[in-house]
Amino acid sequence: MGFFISPRRLWGLLGIIWVAICILPFINGLIEGRFLFQLLRQQREQSRRNLRSSIRTAQMLDRASIPGFKSAHDARFPPYYIPQLRDPTGWWERLGLTRFDVDVTNMASTPDLELITALARMELYREERRHEDGAPWHHWVFASAQAGRMEGVFYDEWDEAFDDLLRHHHAKPTPGNASFHFVSCPDRYFCGAWFVKAPALLHLTTEAPDLFDAATAMMSTSHKEVPGYDNVTVRVMEFPIADPRRLGLAPGVFPSPFNQLRAVTADQYGWQRHPPYRRYVQVWRRLREHAAAEEQAHPRTYGLLVGLEKGLLTGLDLRGSIPWQVMPRMTGTFVSTVLHVMCERGLVTALEYLLQAPGAGHDDEKPGSLQPDDAMDEILILDFVEAFPDIAGEIVRSSADSGEAWEKMKDAIRSFLSTDEEKEVQVRPSTLSGYYFSNTSQDR
């Protein structure tokens, strides 16, 4: 009698093998969900601290500005002699850009979290300039890892390399005559809100990339079209760049800080080697860095699990595989992050109920004063929900049933996160009469 396995048993055996292989990535994903929760909470608190201090600095510069003369925001101080971005509520105006998703006339009365959520977006527009003969606009912003610098005194090699870069482009202008601004990351709002790790260059342009790369075309700007305005696409280039293909340096050229910066800014199409800015991609990069640090700090627990996962998947030649590693790990991260937010919300709600109970002795406590940060939780989770199918790709949307199930899950999460009354974020109308955007929490 020959050896025979029924189809049902075969599928069951394959399922057991799949679970046995995927259990380690899933467990590590659950742990990393805790890391992601901590990372986003830390970023929120840092943004809160830096936001108001940056606004106060900007208000001081406003008072120092004299009508009829150049604004103090555009002052050029040593060592770079280029303007520094300091105002988180109007930095785009210093670059000649426009936003339609932020009400700049009502910043002072806007709660911190709503302001952080709105300002973290990169939906930028530039008015069409007919006199420029259709030439695309380019601009660079250097993000420094240092809070201070002086003429001839630099605290790291990248600040010094950027100074050399400005001198180089003074003699040899950048393609398209792109100009420069810079920001200081440690004491300013920008880098924390954008999840950018300094040193970095931010490239802003109205030029659409060549569509020879399907991935680049897929990640092109998703801004709404506005008549009379060009969409502005932002790219983030964090240094040092380890991948030589993203630098385009000639063979034999040493990738020094100056050569890396120059390779990016001097190449007319070098910016196309880098994908457009996506907030969840930056969050994922910071999560990987945080997880690597935790792996080194806890070699006998989390580090051991990561080592076992790497050894197992490498031995089976499955490392980096979407169905065997990426999907289980991201699923675990997503589930863990959502559960942490739900647990926090439940604990805070229970504590608020106890404080408001009759005879609790806390009658002066305002209702809802202990509520968790719903706006930040909603942005946090829904960003990850939107990112999941993009990263997991065709696995999630491989069939109509899976796509429908995914949409139902997103609707359920939105329903859980939504408040009783839908809060609409007011926006500034455009100069075009009757044309404006209105973004609600459901649209994010």
- Domain ranges in the chain are 16-47+288-425, 76-277
**Alpha carbons 78 and 48: distance in angstroms, whole number:** 29
More confident residue, 357 or 362: 357
Average pLDDT over residues 427-436: 31
**Alpha carbons 396 and 385: distance in angstroms, whole number:** 12
Which of the listed ranges 12-16, 105-109, 111-115, 303-307 does the model predict with the highest average pLDDT? Answer: 303-307
> Which pLDDT score is estimated for 129?
75
More confident residue, 384 or 192: 192
DSSP one-letter string for 142-170: EEES-S--BTTB-SSHHHHHHHHHHHHHH
Average pLDDT over residues 36-41: 86
Average pLDDT over residues 383-400: 47
Lowest mean pLDDT among 125-139, 298-312, 341-355, 427-441: 427-441
- pLDDT band per the 50, 70, 90 thresholds, residue 309: confident
Distance of CA 229 to the CA centre of its chain: 24
231 DSSP β-pair partners: 125
Residue type (1 letter), 151 = E
Q: Compute the Cα dihedral for 126, 132, 136, 142 and give only its sign.
A: negative
> Which pLDDT score is estimated for 104?
63
Tell whether the model's pLDDT for residue 71 goes beyond 60.
yes
> Which pLDDT score is estimated for 248?
78
Q: Which helix (H) or strand (E) holds 267?
A: none
DSSP state of 207: P
**Alpha carbons 333 and 25: distance in angstroms, whole number:** 10
- pLDDT band per the 50, 70, 90 thresholds, residue 394: very low
